[in-house]
Every structure is written in C-alpha cells, then in structure tokens.
Amino acid sequence: MNNIPYGRQDINQEDINAVIEVLRSDFLTQGPVVPDFEKAVADYCGARHAVAVNSATSALHISCLALGVGKGDIVWTTPITFVASANCALYCGAMVDFVDIDPDTYNLSVECLKDKLVLADKVGKLPKVVIPVHLCGQPCDMAGIHSLSRQYGFKIIEDASHAIGGKYKDEPIGNCRYSDITVFSFHPVKIITSGEGGMAVTNDAHLAKHLQLLRSHGISSSIEEMQPRPAHEIWNYQQIDLGFNYRMTDLQAALGLSQMQRLDEFVSRRHLIARRYDQLLPELPLVTPWQHADSYSSYHLYVIRLKAGETKKTHKEFYKALHAAGIGANVHYIPVYRQPYYEQMGFKAGYCPEAEQYYSEVISIPIYPGLTVAQQDHVVQTLRMIFIE
C-alpha cells in the first residue's frame, strides 16, 4: 500500500479549471478573485469583513498589530499548537506566555486561564491579547474566554487554522461572536486549500481597514485615509503605516473559492471517517477524541492517546511502527515552549503539566476526504498489530 499521510488536499477538475481561468485573465494577483473569495468566506461564517493574506501566519501577525500588540505587551496562547500561534506575538516585539490545556478537549483550559488571570492581575501583567486555538477543529469554550475578556480587558484572536467548516453552539466558527478576529489557514493539509493562504475575519470595520493596510506595505489609495498635502503632491497612493507584502494572489484565491463549494462536503467526509475510527478503535488501549456537546468539529486532525501503563510500547516505538507500515502519523504538537528557541527564552520543561502529559501520549492518524475505507482499515489493522506484538 502507498504511503498514507495524516492529511492531504482534495483537488478536482473544477478547482483546476478555476486556476487556469485566472492564468488566462488580466490579473494573476490583485484582481477580482481575491475579493470574491473574501466575500464567500465572510458570508459562510457570518462575519462582516474578511481580509485574505498569503498565510495564517501572516494573518496572525497583522491581527496582533491591528489590535495594538507591541513592545511591553504580553500575548497568551495554548502550548498545544503550531508555533505560529505564539511567534506572532514575538514578531510584534511582545512577550508570549502559555495557558495549560483542558484534559478532555486539549484546548486552552478556561479554568487555567482564570487562575492565571487572577495572578497576573495582582502583579499588573495581564495579557493584551489571548489566542485560543480550535485544536483539531474542535472549538474552544469561547463563551467562557469571552466572559473573562470582559472582566480583564484583553482582546481575542481565534486561531481557527484547523477549524473552517466547524461550528460552536450551532453557529459557524468565524462569526466572531466571542472574539475580535478569527484567522483561517488554507495550507494543503488544512480543511480547504489555496496552496498557501490565510484569512482574517472580523465584524469591526476599523480592524478590517487596518488589516488591509498592513497586508500591503501600509499603503493606502483612499483619499480619506491619505495625509493632507498640497493638491499637486497628492498622487494615487501614500504609505501611512509600516506594512508588509502579505497579499494573496488571484491564483490562490481562485483555488480557495472553488474549494469553498465543497467545504461542507469535506467536513461531512471527515465526520464519517472519524465516526468509523470511533467505532473501530475503542477495543484498543487508546483514548479517542472526546467531543464537547457545543462542538461540531471540522476534524482537521484525529488524535489518539496511548493509555499509560496499558501497553509495553513507547510513544516513539508506536510512531515508528506506524511509519514502517506506510502511515504518516504525526505528533500535534510538541508544546511550543519546549522548542529550543523558546527554551532559550527561559521556559522550562514541566511548565504546563497537562500539555506535557498529552504530548507524551498523542499521535495523529490519517484523516482527509480522500482517505479510502481500505486505507482506513489498514491504519486500524496496523494499530491492532502494534498492540499484539
């Protein structure tokens, strides 16, 4: 059997045609398809504004900037995430800190957040922004986080890189009911793809304007935004802020827009695969992903945990045995503060005990729309054999 990755894109002929159409058009970038894609995502999520960029990493960076994160500020996130959720604070010259995870959902724990806020308040070190991450596509307890944000005055960026197509309390993730900004990723392993790409959605018109400015050099061509100058000095643009080239191309947007048509289908497929794992795996000494009643996950990842003491195999042996069988299992994630770069900043092993326990047991097994029944059976059979050996 060919190698089975933990996740992969699903591209059909319509996706290909959409990209070809842009190639034959007048604009490869900064044409009409980026705003079309933005509108499709905003409408889908029920958010007022959407700003497309070249990655979720860029979206996180300019979202922090737009919320005023800078030197002297602190941003909090979960340790169980991709490094980009934390790095965005460092890009702005701010500090980052980590809140331990919930033992059931593996998302940032609202209990731990509350305790940490009480302590931080006493020493005057409250976070400016908190970045909850909807791990695997399962939404965080956003109502709980939002209520704490009211009490302690921090802003919220939802890192929904895993979670487009998911729902929280029956509403689409990305409607920003409980946050200032929500960020999506369209990397090929995620739910829908534009090759590389990301988007920030918000209901705040000022934030949206600021995000648009920051994604393209801080340059504006809107007369209202330009600084007053003598008429002969006013041309068609001015740089009024320090921004970046974080733009999405029309080629990417065409792929993303075409993929939007199948978003619900992709997520349904992922649910079928997850349900099948849920049925087939409990006979093994594993913990399958628990789902909160408020959650409709997009199932970007399917993570299993080895039950401590119930198998002789180590975590590493497990990982190696899966790879030996052609299964591209992965670990999502090493706690961010355990990365050498973060350890150099002074973070110590053991900082978030629940996150480290999770990390020592977790493995992501393949889940993506094109995974066949035969491939899934191979994954399950391989897991059975690992425990028997």
Ligand X SMILES: *Cc1c(COP(=O)(O)O)cnc(C)c1O
- Applying CB under 6 A, the residues found at the interface with ligand X are 55-57, 81-82, 84-85, 133, 159, 161-162, 185, 187, 198
**CA triple 315-320-325, angle to 5 deg:** 130
- The amino acid sitting at 325 is A
- The overall longest dimension of the chain from CA atoms, in Å, is 81
At residue 183, φ and ψ (nearest 5 deg) are -115, 135
CB nearer ligand X, residue 185 or residue 376: 185
Q: Tell me the helix, strand and coil percentages in the chain, rounded to 5.
A: 40, 15, 45
Smallest distance from ligand X to CB 220, Å = 25
How far apart are alpha carbons 248 and 261 in whole angstroms? 19
How far apart are alpha carbons 181 and 183 in whole angstroms? 7
Smallest distance from ligand X to CB 357, Å = 20
Give kind and range of the element (H or E) at residue 343. Answer: helix 340-343
* 249 DSSP assignment: B
199 contacts 212 by C-beta, under 8 angstroms:
no
CB nearer ligand X, residue 57 or residue 238: 57
CB nearer ligand X, residue 203 or residue 330: 330
Smallest distance from ligand X to CB 31, Å = 21
Smallest distance from ligand X to CB 223, Å = 34
- Structure tokens, 57: 């990493």
Smallest distance from ligand X to CB 86, Å = 9
CB nearer ligand X, residue 78 or residue 202: 78
CB nearer ligand X, residue 10 or residue 21: 10
CB nearer ligand X, residue 185 or residue 249: 185
Smallest distance from ligand X to CB 37, Å = 15
CB nearer ligand X, residue 188 or residue 326: 188
Smallest distance from ligand X to CB 297, Å = 14
How far apart are alpha carbons 148 and 121 in whole angstroms? 12
How far apart are alpha carbons 241 and 220 in whole angstroms? 9
Torsion (CA) 24, 211, 109, 168 in degrees, nearest 10: -60
142 contacts 178 by C-beta, under 8 angstroms:
yes
Smallest distance from ligand X to CB 56, Å = 3
Contacting residues for 3 by C-beta, under 8 A, at least 6 apart:
326, 327, 328
Measured from the Cβ of residue 352, the count of other Cβ atoms closer than 10 Å reads: 23
Burial of 349 (0-12, 13-18, 19+ CB in 10 A): exposed
How far apart are alpha carbons 136 and 292 in whole angstroms? 13
Smallest distance from ligand X to CB 168, Å = 16
Number of H helices, E strands in the chain: 13, 17
Smallest distance from ligand X to CB 231, Å = 42
Q: Is omega for the bond preceding 333 within 30 degrees of 0, making it cis?
A: yes
CB nearer ligand X, residue 100 or residue 284: 100
CB nearer ligand X, residue 50 or residue 321: 50
CB nearer ligand X, residue 333 or residue 347: 333
367 contacts 301 by C-beta, under 8 angstroms:
yes
